[in-house]
Amino acid sequence: MLAGRFITIEGIDGAGKSTQVERVAARWRAAGLEVVRTREPGGTPLAESLRELVLHRTMDTLTETLLVFAARRDHLREVVEPALARGAVVLCDRFTDATFAYQGGGRGFDLTVLAQLEHWVQQGRQPDLTFWFDLAPEIAARRRAAARAPDRFESEDIAFFTAVRQGYALRFGAAPRRVARIDAECTPEAVAAQIDAALEARGW
């Protein structure tokens, strides 16, 4: 039942997604499934090059948004769609929800334009399930400071990440059946238990 599924992981920087993604991937590989782990922006040589520009070069919001969707188009064509077609489980760190949250919520970019770009680029492709790692921006900021040097997004202030969190909430409020909200303030063990419960509820 799980083969050929597209699953995404969302949340603000510092929410602890990476640890849990690997645990879920290992669980499904142990069950004999092909699991493709990937990320956005990124996942192909072209998309990774565009990612570097988005994360580290100064640009206006329209340019940033177009680069993100250009990376997504290449990623879908080269990685996601072929993997789904052969029956793999695609586990992706961020997808279009992040664009609505970061560029739409954080940057204040026009949501109507984002929706049009989503339609053009994805041609109906949406995740089968999205885990939203929801975390207060203040806590996420402390975690990021202890983990790594910040990129262009991670250097933003609490107000920006508060708007990003609100962007996620708005996006997911429109798709409650697709999204499993994870309380990312919990211990890693408690977060893992929430993920397992969401998967079990879907028979996965």
78-91 confidence digits (pLDDT tens): 999 999 999 999 99
Number of domains composing the chain: 1
104: annotated binding-site residue? no
Residue 68, helix vs strand vs coil: helix
pLDDT tens by residue, 29-78? 999 999 999 999 999 999 999 999 999 999 999 999 999 999 999 999 99
15: annotated binding-site residue? yes
The conformation of residue 88, written as its DSSP 8-state character, comes to P
Rounded Cα distance, 140 and 121, in Å: 31
182: annotated binding-site residue? no
173: annotated binding-site residue? no
Give pTM, 2 decimals: 0.93
Give the CATH number for residue 43: 3.40.50.300
124: annotated binding-site residue? no
Residue 184, domain extent = 5-201
203: annotated binding-site residue? no
128: annotated binding-site residue? no
Query: Assign residue 87 a region: left if phi > 0, alpha if psi is -120 to 50, beta otherwise?
Result: left
